[in-house]
Amino acid sequence: MSRNNAKQDEEAQAIDLTPMLDVVFIMLIFFIVTATFIKETGKEVTRPEATTADDKKNATILVAVGADNEIWIDKKKVDPRGVRQVIERMRADNPKGGVSIQADTASRIEFVLEVADAAREAGVTDVSVSTPKK
Protein backbone atom coordinates (compact mmCIF):
# COMPACT_ATOMS: atom_id res chain seq x y z
CA MET A 1 0.00 0.00 0.00
CA SER A 2 2.86 2.37 0.56
CA ARG A 3 3.67 2.18 -3.13
CA ASN A 4 0.17 3.31 -4.06
CA ASN A 5 0.33 6.16 -1.57
CA ALA A 6 3.71 7.26 -2.96
CA LYS A 7 2.32 7.34 -6.53
CA GLN A 8 -0.69 9.35 -5.43
CA ASP A 9 1.57 11.82 -3.60
CA GLU A 10 3.73 12.27 -6.72
CA GLU A 11 0.65 12.86 -8.89
CA ALA A 12 -0.75 15.38 -6.42
CA GLN A 13 2.54 17.32 -6.42
CA ALA A 14 2.88 17.43 -10.25
CA ILE A 15 2.20 20.82 -11.82
CA ASP A 16 -0.42 20.89 -14.56
CA LEU A 17 0.99 22.93 -17.46
CA THR A 18 -2.13 22.79 -19.64
CA PRO A 19 -3.57 26.19 -18.57
CA MET A 20 -0.20 27.86 -19.11
CA LEU A 21 0.07 26.42 -22.62
CA ASP A 22 -3.45 27.61 -23.39
CA VAL A 23 -2.53 31.14 -22.36
CA VAL A 24 0.64 31.06 -24.46
CA PHE A 25 -1.26 29.91 -27.56
CA ILE A 26 -3.94 32.56 -27.05
CA MET A 27 -1.25 35.25 -26.78
CA LEU A 28 0.46 33.94 -29.91
CA ILE A 29 -2.80 34.07 -31.87
CA PHE A 30 -3.47 37.59 -30.57
CA PHE A 31 -0.08 38.88 -31.73
CA ILE A 32 -0.35 37.24 -35.13
CA VAL A 33 -3.79 38.69 -35.77
CA THR A 34 -2.96 42.21 -34.56
CA ALA A 35 0.44 42.49 -36.24
CA THR A 36 0.71 44.92 -39.14
CA PHE A 37 2.50 43.55 -42.11
CA ILE A 38 4.87 45.71 -44.12
CA LYS A 39 4.18 45.77 -47.82
CA GLU A 40 7.11 45.71 -50.15
CA THR A 41 7.45 46.34 -53.85
CA GLY A 42 10.17 43.80 -54.54
CA LYS A 43 12.70 46.33 -55.82
CA GLU A 44 15.08 48.40 -53.75
CA VAL A 45 15.10 52.05 -54.83
CA THR A 46 16.89 55.23 -53.77
CA ARG A 47 14.06 57.69 -53.39
CA PRO A 48 14.58 61.37 -54.22
CA GLU A 49 14.75 64.04 -51.53
CA ALA A 50 11.85 66.48 -51.20
CA THR A 51 11.57 69.85 -49.52
CA THR A 52 7.86 69.39 -48.78
CA ALA A 53 6.20 66.07 -48.03
CA ASP A 54 2.95 64.81 -46.52
CA ASP A 55 2.27 61.48 -44.89
CA LYS A 56 -0.14 59.28 -46.83
CA LYS A 57 -1.84 56.70 -44.63
CA ASN A 58 -4.10 55.09 -47.23
CA ALA A 59 -1.50 54.10 -49.83
CA THR A 60 -2.28 50.41 -50.20
CA ILE A 61 -0.69 49.78 -53.60
CA LEU A 62 3.06 50.29 -53.80
CA VAL A 63 4.71 50.58 -57.20
CA ALA A 64 8.50 50.75 -57.61
CA VAL A 65 10.29 52.21 -60.61
CA GLY A 66 13.93 51.17 -60.44
CA ALA A 67 17.09 52.82 -61.73
CA ASP A 68 16.88 50.52 -64.76
CA ASN A 69 13.27 51.75 -65.38
CA GLU A 70 11.76 48.40 -64.46
CA ILE A 71 8.33 48.54 -62.84
CA TRP A 72 7.70 46.28 -59.83
CA ILE A 73 4.38 45.72 -58.07
CA ASP A 74 3.89 43.21 -55.26
CA LYS A 75 7.37 41.67 -55.73
CA LYS A 76 6.75 41.00 -59.43
CA LYS A 77 8.20 42.73 -62.45
CA VAL A 78 5.36 44.23 -64.50
CA ASP A 79 5.36 45.23 -68.16
CA PRO A 80 4.55 48.95 -68.53
CA ARG A 81 1.53 48.06 -70.70
CA GLY A 82 0.09 45.85 -67.92
CA VAL A 83 0.38 48.27 -65.01
CA ARG A 84 -3.25 49.43 -65.25
CA GLN A 85 -4.61 45.87 -65.15
CA VAL A 86 -2.49 44.98 -62.12
CA ILE A 87 -3.59 48.12 -60.26
CA GLU A 88 -7.24 47.42 -61.11
CA ARG A 89 -6.90 43.87 -59.77
CA MET A 90 -5.20 45.03 -56.55
CA ARG A 91 -7.69 47.87 -56.14
CA ALA A 92 -10.56 45.36 -55.97
CA ASP A 93 -9.29 44.40 -52.48
CA ASN A 94 -9.38 48.00 -51.19
CA PRO A 95 -11.33 50.42 -53.42
CA LYS A 96 -10.57 53.46 -51.23
CA GLY A 97 -6.81 52.91 -51.14
CA GLY A 98 -4.25 54.99 -52.96
CA VAL A 99 -1.16 54.33 -55.04
CA SER A 100 2.34 55.25 -53.87
CA ILE A 101 5.08 55.32 -56.49
CA GLN A 102 8.59 54.67 -55.20
CA ALA A 103 10.78 56.01 -57.96
CA ASP A 104 14.56 55.73 -57.99
CA THR A 105 16.51 58.95 -58.44
CA ALA A 106 18.08 57.52 -61.60
CA SER A 107 14.77 56.42 -63.17
CA ARG A 108 13.32 58.33 -66.10
CA ILE A 109 10.34 60.56 -65.41
CA GLU A 110 8.45 59.09 -68.40
CA PHE A 111 8.10 55.77 -66.58
CA VAL A 112 6.92 57.45 -63.38
CA LEU A 113 4.31 59.44 -65.32
CA GLU A 114 3.23 56.30 -67.17
CA VAL A 115 2.57 54.55 -63.84
CA ALA A 116 0.69 57.60 -62.50
CA ASP A 117 -1.45 57.78 -65.67
CA ALA A 118 -2.18 54.04 -65.48
CA ALA A 119 -3.28 54.42 -61.86
CA ARG A 120 -5.61 57.28 -62.76
CA GLU A 121 -7.03 55.26 -65.67
CA ALA A 122 -7.68 52.45 -63.19
CA GLY A 123 -9.82 54.85 -61.15
CA VAL A 124 -7.36 55.74 -58.39
CA THR A 125 -7.58 59.42 -57.46
CA ASP A 126 -4.92 59.40 -54.73
CA VAL A 127 -1.56 58.93 -56.49
CA SER A 128 1.64 60.05 -54.78
CA VAL A 129 5.41 59.77 -55.19
CA SER A 130 7.24 58.44 -52.14
CA THR A 131 10.20 60.23 -50.58
CA PRO A 132 12.43 59.19 -47.66
CA LYS A 133 11.39 60.20 -44.11
CA LYS A 134 13.38 62.94 -42.43
Euclidean distance between CA atoms 58 and 99, whole angstroms: 8
Euclidean distance between CA atoms 62 and 73, whole angstroms: 6
Torsion over CA: 9, 14, 15, 16 (sign): negative
pLDDT, tens digit, 9 for 90 and up, residues 34-81: 776 666 666 777 666 766 666 667 777 888 898 898 898 888 898 989
Name the residue type at position 114.
Answer: E
Sheet holding 127-129, edge to edge: 76-78, 71-73, 59-65, 98-103, 127-129
Q: Please give the average per-residue pLDDT across 113-132, as a whole number.
A: 87
Q: Quickly name the fold that domain 59-129 has.
A: Nucleotidyltransferase; domain 5 (3.30.420)
Residue 93 has pLDDT above 60, yes or no: yes
pLDDT, tens digit, 9 for 90 and up, residues 3-38: 666 666 666 677 777 888 899 999 999 888 877 666
pTM (2 d.p.):
0.63
